[in-house]
């Protein structure tokens, strides 16, 4: 397999870490961004102890200027970004009739606008080289909605709209663009939910369990593979059957 430079935004989180490891195991040179240097260095040290040499670069993906500087630094250190995983995301939950503007704006900026900010910096190079992989990490709640998450669901649904338009624009240039929509995954955030609430969630999942970050990372590896060149504009649901569509 050809070794490529892979950028995973939000790579220090639960799902992000699993994606970083998966891409590194595939032989790629993996890099992620950070805002808090102390936390990022501690994460990087932990990864090194596990045998993963991951590059970290400062960059706030909600800022077009910082995203541009981040990608420029990556390309100077490692070479052009050929695999991009738009994984950065936050939640600011609340019912819409009480939602504040900053709750809406923070989630849209981090989850959706970041896709523009980062992808815009790498797409021209991918088109010129006639090869690229862009993968959005969306959510089951972008498909089915969720109480108290109008902001999050809107952003996550928007990510797939972004995917299908980019897929059409770039298919003839050898660039595939796809979405993965995870269901409920056993990350620290989900495991912090009260046990009785978590039990109700699991009861609605046909497989009878939460997913693992590694199962999402497997999907990323599949779509990033050299042989996935005829898969573009797709949404891969990885949710244990929790939400099914066609």
Which active-site residues does the annotation give? 152
**Count of other CB atoms within 10 angstroms of residue 221:** 17
How many whole angstroms separate alpha carbon 41 and alpha carbon 237?
33
Collapsed DSSP state (helix, strand, coil) of residue 135 = strand
CB 190 within 8 A of CB 198: yes
Nearest to 110 by CA among 89, 131, 94: 89
CA 245 to chain centre: 21
CA 215 to chain centre: 14
Sheet holding 5-8, edge to edge: 55-58, 29-34, 5-8, 81-86, 132-137, 175-182, 235-238
Six-digit token pair at 206?
């046909």
């Amino acid at each position: 397999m050809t070794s490529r430079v892979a950028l995973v935004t939000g790579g220090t989180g639960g799902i992000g870490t699993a994606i970083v490891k998966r891409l590194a195991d595939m032989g790629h040179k993996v890099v992620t961004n950070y805002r808090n240097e102390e936390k990022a260095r501690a994460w990087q040290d932990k990864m090194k102890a596990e045998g993963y040499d991951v590059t970290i670069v400062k960059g706030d993906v909600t800022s077009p200027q910082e995203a541009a500087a981040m990608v420029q630094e990556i390309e100077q250190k490692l070479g052009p970004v050929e695999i991009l995983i738009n994984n950065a995301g936050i939640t600011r939950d609340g019912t819409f009739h009480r939602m504040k503007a900053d709750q809406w704006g923070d989630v849209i900026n981090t989850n959706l606008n970041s896709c523009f900010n980062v992808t815009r910096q790498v797409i021209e190079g991918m088109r010129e080289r006639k090869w690229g992989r862009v993968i959005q990490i969306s959510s089951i709640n972008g498909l089915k909605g969720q109480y108290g998450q109008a902001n999050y669901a809107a952003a996550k649904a928007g990510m797939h709209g972004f995917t299908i338009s980019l897929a059409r624009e770039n298919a003839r240039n050898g660039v595939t663009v796809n979405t993965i929509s995870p269901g409920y995954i056993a990350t620290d955030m989900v495991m912090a939910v009260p046990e009785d609430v978590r039990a109700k969630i699991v009861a609605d999942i046909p497989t009878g369990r939460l997913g693992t970050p590694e199962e999402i990372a497997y999907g990323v590896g599949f779509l990033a593979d050299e042989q996935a060149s005829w898969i573009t504009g797709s949404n891969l649901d990885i949710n244990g059957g929790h939400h099914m569509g066609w």
